[in-house]
Amino acid sequence: MVGTLVNASHPVGLDQLEVDPATGLPKNEQAAEHVIHMRLLDVALNLGVGLGPKLALELRVPFRVVDIDAKFLDADGGELASYESIHHRNETLTGIGDVELYNRLRLTRPGAGPWTVDLRAGTALPTGNIEDNPFALGRRGRAHQHIFFGSGTLDPIGGVDVTHRAGQLTVASWLSVRASLWDNPRGYRAGTRVSAGVLPQTGFGLESVRFALGPEVFHEQPSTWEDGAESVNSGRTDIIATAGLFWRPAPELSLHALLKRPFTVHERGGQIDVPVVVGLGASWGFDLAPPPTRRAGHEHCDHAHDDDHAHEADEPGAAGGDVLDLATGGESFELSEAIVAGKVTVIDFWASWCAPCHDIDRELARLAAANPQLAVRRVEIVDFDSPAARRHLAGASGLPVVWIFDASGRRRHTLETTTATDVRARVEALLRAR
């Protein structure tokens, strides 16, 4: 949800005089200046579904509200209280904007290294309202509307998102383009829009909170009508200072607040003055297909011989082995509570999208079933923005991550992007050394 209060004013030119439609002549009473105050609200629903570890389909549905307060001043600056204009009026406009549908392709291997690179490509659908040429209608003395919620055309959209994690610092950057390539049925062609930004984020040691501060750039080309003429008051370039607060009260839920201050560096014609933009948002993620059931308490690991052990007690040294879920859903944990005294302890960080993690899980389950002196504690991080990952895996090169402690509680191995074969060799060596 993004909202702002904007103001616009302009002197009345000869081509903006109020005209009597019956005679085609200017009316006797004319305003010298138009003053417009607008309250803008954009509420967008964003839906995304992962089609695999590298591909997602995303949909954005915007709903917009524009509340307009129009005033008309005479040559001395006094308000014309009962003045009616074909150009502006007091009104509230609501409606759907242009729906966006696109694919997101991850170029980097999930969980491998501090870099994440995503490509976006799709289209904006012509679902928002469009209007007839307001300038031509104004010249004929007819009422018209300058506010559109859509372009009226299928516009290709694309972009790239790049994220880099280094310890407590995460730097998110992006480039987005919406191209306007042809006229809509009413002869209007919206201006191509480009936005880019860099937003460093850090929690300053806090688990569930991040603070962000960085610059953005927005550029919009002038729009045109059927005769190829540029629209008045169209086209601008802004540099935007952005500050943000991100809070994750639960692993699957994220809340954020953004404050943006645009500074216009280039404009064509009179433009609206945007003092500040406030954004509020919430995101919630969940698995459509939950990962296989993991051993926790009396549950068993999902491998071929689970049914053979269904009757056995799930206790340390029993056939099920000492394998427990230490933390799920991205929740954090205290390391001091994870180490099992007198046993070789393995802390296994995993996520449902990490295929090598499942191989390691099965290997550790087999080792634990055969070795009562081995304790396996599993930590589901969900992603690298979760509390568990931010606290324990800052700077990790990627999943799988396995920590191995000897029977005295000393960490002997820290394995990153490792394999089941490597983990087994290290664990067996420590078990033999007991």
Judgement on whether residues 241 and 311 belong to the same structural domain of the protein = no
Judgement on whether residues 274 and 316 belong to the same structural domain of the protein = no
In a domain, 7, yes or no: no
The dihedral built from the CA positions of residue 369, 370, 371 and 376, taken in this order, carries a sign that is: negative
Q: What is the CATH number of the domain that holds 356?
A: 3.40.30.10
Give the C-alpha separation, 219 to 237, whole Å. Answer: 4
Judgement on whether residues 100 and 245 belong to the same structural domain of the protein = yes
Judgement on whether residues 269 and 356 belong to the same structural domain of the protein = no
Judgement on whether residues 142 and 230 belong to the same structural domain of the protein = yes
Judgement on whether residues 421 and 343 belong to the same structural domain of the protein = yes
In a domain, 206, yes or no: yes
Judgement on whether residues 129 and 202 belong to the same structural domain of the protein = yes
Tell me which of 250, 284, 318 is where a domain ends: 284
Q: What is residue 113's DSSP assignment?
A: S
Judgement on whether residues 344 and 205 belong to the same structural domain of the protein = no
The residue to which tokens 């509420």 are assigned: 43
Q: Percent helix, strand, coil in the chain (nearest 5)?
A: 10, 45, 45
Judgement on whether residues 248 and 389 belong to the same structural domain of the protein = no
**Whole-model pTM?**
0.73
Q: Is 406 in contact with 382 (CB distance < 8 Å)?
A: no
Judgement on whether residues 268 and 326 belong to the same structural domain of the protein = no
Residue range(s) defining the domain that contains residue 266? 42-61+93-284
- Count of structural domains within the chain: 2
Q: Could you tell me the CA-to-CA distances from 5 to 40, 41, 65, 156, 273 in Å, in that order?
A: 6, 9, 12, 30, 9
Write out the chain's pLDDT in tens, 434 residues. 999 998 888 888 887 888 877 777 788 889 999 999 999 999 999 999 988 778 999 999 999 999 999 999 998 999 998 888 888 999 999 999 999 999 999 898 765 667 889 999 999 999 999 999 988 888 888 889 989 999 999 999 999 999 988 777 889 999 999 999 999 999 999 999 999 999 999 988 777 889 999 999 999 999 988 866 666 667 899 999 999 999 988 767 889 999 999 999 988 766 678 889 999 999 988 777 544 444 333 333 333 333 333 333 333 333 468 999 999 988 999 988 899 999 999 999 999 888 889 999 999 999 999 999 999 999 999 888 888 888 898 878 788 999 999 999 999 999 988 889 999 999 999 998 87
Torsion of the alpha carbons at 259, 388, 409 and 356, rounded to the nearest 10? -130
In a domain, 67, yes or no: no
In a domain, 8, yes or no: no
Q: What is the CATH number of the domain that holds 214?
A: 2.40.160.40
Tell me which of 221, 253, 284 is where a domain ends: 284
In a domain, 202, yes or no: yes
Judgement on whether residues 377 and 274 belong to the same structural domain of the protein = no
Judgement on whether residues 189 and 245 belong to the same structural domain of the protein = yes
Tell me which of 251, 284, 317 is where a domain ends: 284
Q: What is residue 370's DSSP assignment?
A: H
In a domain, 16, yes or no: no
In a domain, 19, yes or no: no
In a domain, 9, yes or no: no
